[in-house]
Amino acid sequence: MSDLPIVRYASLTDVGMRRATNQDALAVRLSSDFNAWACDGHLFVVADGMGGHAVGDLASRIATETLPQAWAKSDPDEPAQRLQAAIQASNKAINDRAVRNPEFQGMGTTCSVLNLSAKGALIGHVGDSRVYRLRHGLLQQLTFDHSLQWEMIRLGRSTAENVEKEHPRNVITRCLGPDLNVAIDIEGPFSAVAGDVFVLCSDGLTNHVDDAEIGRAVSDLPVTESARFLINLANCRGGSDNSTVIVVRVEEYPAVSGTVADTVFIEPSPPAPPPPTVAQRLLPLLRLIPPGVFAAGAAVAFQQGLNAASGVLAVTAMISLPLLFRKPRKKVKHPLPKPAPEVSQDSRPHLDSCSLLRSSFLPMSPYRSTESSQPDILLQLTTSVYNELQQHAVDAGWRKSVNPLAESETADNRSIEERLREAVKSVNTLMREFYSAVRGSTGGGI
């Protein structure tokens, strides 16, 4: 294994099917040799701008231009603080531009950053763009969505099943630009090993493509084809927003310095009850006194007469009444922490541990994990998409014939993985023709 890690990546951004401009931006900064990598690592950035056509585009562009420069100038010995400072510098640059130009007031952008270095995979994040890692068929979301939906679930005010009905999807709770200071999530460092695939993407992709499909696509396809296919799939399903994706496949990675361990969330044990007091220990014994005294009084009354026992019975009543009618002390319950009234501004969200939250995401990164779908399921989906595109091409007049892909598993002797690659390649080719026909030579496309 060489000292410098071997990674292959593909980065694509697309305007989508309903927007006139692309407000997404991306940046990739690779180190050319081991010394540079040991100091800076590889840097990948995705930003999704907002605030009007030109304004959103400007905000995301400032973020992706400022962040790599700020990263290169900061202290390499403190990667977490370095990444936080670089993102904060981007935030200040956007805010400064808005202050100088009133027409840019309110512009902002999400920002998700992946740094692969000798200390592992470090992530900085603000907004609802995402960073995933695929390992052994398990796709893990390493970032927390700073969105209204996720925050409502985090605060226990909604559930994963109802949040879509109760709260809009496109409302975010944090972004770079509007305020001079912003809360930044720093996640990791996580381990990085050969075979890992990291995915950075904007919500234009995840609004239309689910996690299992993302995992399967980046698992079975070369990085360029998988990136193109994911955006094409989002556009086939409506392309309601700009889509951006960076796919990074790790082929070789040197042993990292120090200890890098992924976060493992362990459910905390309930607090132990407090030890009983002396009075609580003696109370059962004290309650035995009245029956004993009463029995003695009854015996005296039987042998000596009622007058002799009256004093004993009076003493019995005086002792018995307070003990018999005393209400037992209630056990002190230790309730779960109450949700905070406002969204936490800590660098890491603090989630309470109710079961509804655990069913949605975990309190620490990785927040969600999804088994990628089986290749035969993705093959059926891809085949169906291709056949529908072919029929649409004929109906719209930009293709003259339909050449459907065979859906049967016995169509030929090739493996499912080989047939999936061929189907994806066919979809990507057909979508390229579609962009050319619909957008024209100057209309963009991928």
pLDDT of 443 higher than 60: no
Q: pLDDT tens-digit profile of 30-68?
A: 998 888 888 899 999 999 999 776 799 999 999 999 999
Average pLDDT over residues 276-284: 54
Q: Which of the 8 DSSP states describes residue 256?
A: P
20-29, 226-235, 395-404, 424-433: the lowest-pLDDT one: 395-404
Residues 6+ apart with CB under 8 A from 2: 252, 254
Residue among 82, 86, 81 nearest 66 (CA): 86
Residue 209 CA to residue 176 CA, distance in Å, equals 25
- Higher local confidence (pLDDT), 205 or 412: 205
Confidence grade of residue 332 (pLDDT, cut at 50, 70, 90): very low
Q: Please tell me which of 23-32, 255-264, 299-308, 431-440 the model is most confident about, judged by mean pLDDT.
A: 23-32
Phi and psi torsions of 138, nearest 5°: -110, 120
- Higher local confidence (pLDDT), 1 or 48: 48
Q: pLDDT tens-digit profile of 171-227?
A: 999 999 999 999 999 999 999 999 999 999 999 999 999 999 999 999 989 999 999
For residue 182, what pLDDT is reported? 95
For residue 310, what pLDDT is reported? 57
For residue 341, what pLDDT is reported? 33
26-35, 150-159, 331-340: the lowest-pLDDT one: 331-340
* Mean predicted lDDT score pLDDT of the chain: 80
147-151, 235-239, 255-259: the lowest-pLDDT one: 255-259
pLDDT of 297 higher than 60: no
For residue 108, what pLDDT is reported? 96
Structural contact between residues 135 and 372, judged by C-beta atoms closer than 8 angstroms: no
For residue 302, what pLDDT is reported? 54
For residue 246, what pLDDT is reported? 98
Residue 83 CA to residue 66 CA, distance in Å, equals 12
Residue 271 CA to residue 334 CA, distance in Å, equals 7
> Directed axis angle between helix 223-236 and helix 375-396, to 10°?
60
Average pLDDT over residues 256-275: 45
pLDDT of 263 higher than 60: no
- Percent above pLDDT 90 for the chain: 50
**Distance separating the N- and C-terminal Cα atoms of the chain:** 34
Phi and psi torsions of 220, nearest 5°: -100, -10
Confidence grade of residue 441 (pLDDT, cut at 50, 70, 90): low
Q: pLDDT tens-digit profile of 76-93?
A: 788 999 999 999 999 999
pLDDT of 72 higher than 80: yes
- Higher local confidence (pLDDT), 437 or 197: 197
